[in-house]
């Protein structure tokens, strides 16, 4: 429990309108985009780095566990306050502080919505490349925490490739800057260390992001298949021919029908799978690649190959892809999204394994994923009101991720480990590797108060090999 005096000290920092403590309000902060839940005891909304420092100092004085939160769109339980305590929401730290087009960068606060960066600079023909499907809602702070990706990061890279610098508030109240305006700085790559650390080592209070020039030409292609296996094999064949689109997205028949019914984007209702492919670059290069990819798709038994004829048609196809999760919500009251990675050559076997898991547990599983880099997003439909349905969905997800590991892949491509996949970390890494990860956590958070109970599996956390907050008298 947060002591009354500690609560008042925190309220004094953020003001009468800068916190929430009523049960009905806290309910809105007990979940993210995943399936786990736990309420915080108090939510505070700082508006500056100085306020974050004061909050951290008070939490340290009273030994309060903390968890940071962006927009709550995460899909692995990363922002769930497992130990209750204090939630620090960055919703009010949402300003773009500086745009420097001459040096192709911007300085933003962590609560800035991803898409707002592109909207701020697109009139000058620039954009911010990492584009999660939730980019209209997700925030940069959350993107940094999870090292978020998106459809167009096949060629451009994920968040860590576009973060030049960070301002961090450490748990001792110090403010540390890493990286900077320059693309290369001497010393350790601390920006890379903290990007993807899932809010377990420090609070991010400022981010310097890389901006990119809009390409000269863009083409969006749609390849339609009567076989999901043929569709999956096409991805490997595109790579084998040394063609690198900026995006290669795959939707199976179950998913594309849900998407089409919701968005009317132009996906064929009778297909077993489609590939949504995007090319960018110089006009002549893009036109040549369109024909190369047409040849690949048809050789892999695509029944039809389309090229979007206008910007409006292109936007409609991407609207279907970006709004896919909402389309699923129209069909199923609950769904569980997974985030495994396999080598591109293993996409077809992975789809077959997912089909078998679906049959084994009697649950519908639809597939939509970043096929270009093998990042699978099987979406498991279930009904939490039915006894045992959630457990079946979770077991299905675990079996799919174990296949990904066995195939030489990973348990996460962009959603993070959070609390959802932490036990699978022991399958992904050996003991020495897990101990190395733990050593970084302990270096920055020796009391395990920052986002406790995340990433490391039971048996590799703090104190008696469990990751939980410690009391002041406890020693390691």
* pLDDT tens-digit series, residues 222-246: 999 999 999 999 999 998 898 999 9
Give per-residue pLDDT as tens, 170-206: 999 999 999 987 767 788 999 999 999 999 999 999 9
Question: Where residue 461 falls among pLDDT bands split at 50, 70, 90?
Answer: low
pLDDT at 393: 96
Q: Over pLDDT 90: what percentage of the chain?
A: 88
Q: Over pLDDT 70: what percentage of the chain?
A: 96
Angle between helices 228-240 and 283-299 (to 10 degrees): 140
Give per-residue pLDDT as tens, 124-178: 999 999 999 999 999 999 999 999 999 998 999 999 999 999 999 999 999 999 9
pLDDT at 363: 97
User: Are 4-89 and 332-406 the same fold in CATH?
Assistant: no
Give per-residue pLDDT as tens, 326-340: 899 889 989 999 999
Domain ranges of the chain: 4-89, 96-213, 217-321, 332-406, 431-476
Pick the CATH number of 96-213 from 3.30.465.10, 2.30.42.10, 3.40.30.10, 3.90.1150.30: 3.30.465.10
Joined together, the tokens standing for residue 192 give 């890379």
More confident site: 400 or 244: 400
- What average pLDDT does range 265-269 have in this prediction? 93
- What value does the mean pLDDT of the chain take? 93
Architecture of domain 217-321: 2-Layer Sandwich (3.30)
Whole-angstrom Cα distance, residue 259 to residue 157? 26
pLDDT at 469: 42
Q: What is the CATH number of domain 332-406?
A: 3.30.70
pLDDT at 473: 33
- What average pLDDT does range 17-22 have in this prediction? 97
Whole-angstrom Cα distance, residue 294 to residue 287? 11
Helices and strands in the chain: count of H runs, count of E runs:
16, 20
- 417 in Cβ contact with 411 (< 8 Å): yes
Which segments within 70-123 are labelled E, that is strand?
86-89, 96-100, 105-108
Pick the CATH number of 4-89 from 3.30.930.10, 3.30.43.10, 3.40.50.720, 3.40.50.2000: 3.30.43.10
């Amino acid at each position: 429990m947060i002591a009354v005096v500690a609560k008042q000290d925190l309220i004094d920092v953020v003001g009468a309108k800068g916190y929430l403590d009523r049960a009905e309000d806290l309910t809105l902060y007990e979940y993210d985009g995943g399936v786990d839940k736990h309420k915080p005891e108090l939510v505070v909304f700082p508006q500056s780095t100085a306020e974050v420092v004061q909050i951290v100092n008070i939490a340290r004085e009273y030994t309060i566990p903390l968890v940071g939160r962006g927009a709550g769109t995460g899909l692995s339980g990363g922002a769930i306050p497992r130990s209750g305590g204090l939630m620090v929401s960055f919703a009010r730290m949402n300003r773009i502080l500086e745009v420097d087009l001459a040096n192709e960068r911007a300085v933003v606060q962590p609560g800035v919505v991803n898409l707002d960066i592109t909207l701020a600079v697109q009139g000058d023909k620039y954009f911010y490349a990492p584009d999660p499907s939730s980019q209209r809602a997700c925030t940069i702070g959350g993107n940094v925490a999870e090292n978020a990706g998106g459809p167009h990061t096949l060629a451009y890279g994920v968040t860590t490739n576009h973060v030049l610098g960070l301002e961090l508030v450490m748990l001792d109240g110090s403010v540390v800057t890493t990286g900077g305006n320059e693309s290369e700085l001497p010393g350790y790559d601390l920006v890379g260390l903290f990007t993807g650390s899932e809010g377990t080592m420090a609070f991010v209070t400022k981010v310097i992001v890389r901006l990119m020039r809009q390409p000269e030409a863009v083409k969006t292609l749609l390849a339609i298949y009567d076989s999901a296996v043929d569709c999956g094999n096409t991805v490997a064949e595109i790579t084998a021919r040394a063609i690198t689109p900026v995006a290669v997205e795959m939707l199976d028949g179950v998913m594309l029908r849900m998407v089409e019914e919701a968005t009317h984007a132009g996906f064929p209702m009778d297909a077993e799978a489609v590939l949504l492919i995007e090319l960018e670059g110089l006009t002549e290069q893009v036109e040549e690649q369109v024909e190369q990819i047409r040849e690949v798709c048809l050789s892999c038994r695509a029944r039809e190959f389309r090229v979007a004829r206008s910007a409006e048609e292109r936007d409609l196809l991407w609207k279907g892809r970006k709004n896919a999760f909402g389309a699923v919500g129209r069909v199923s009251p609950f769904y569980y999204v997974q985030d495994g990675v396999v080598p591109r050559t293993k996409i077809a076997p992975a789809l077959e394994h997912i089909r078998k898991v679906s049959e084994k547990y009697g649950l519908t599983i639809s597939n939509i994923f970043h096929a270009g880099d093998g990042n699978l997003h099987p979406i498991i439909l279930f009904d939490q009101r039915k006894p045992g349905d959630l457990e079946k969905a979770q077991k299905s997800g675990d079996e799919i991720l174990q296949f990904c590991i066995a195939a030489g892949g990973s348990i996460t491509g962009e959603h993070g480990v959070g609390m959802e996949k932490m036990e699978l970390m022991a399958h992904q890494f050996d003991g020495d590797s897990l101990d190395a990860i733990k050593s970084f956590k302990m270096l920055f958070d020796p009391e395990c108060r920052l986002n406790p109970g995340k990433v490391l599996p039971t048996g590799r956390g703090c104190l008696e090999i469990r990751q939980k907050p410690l009391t002041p008298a406890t020693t390691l």
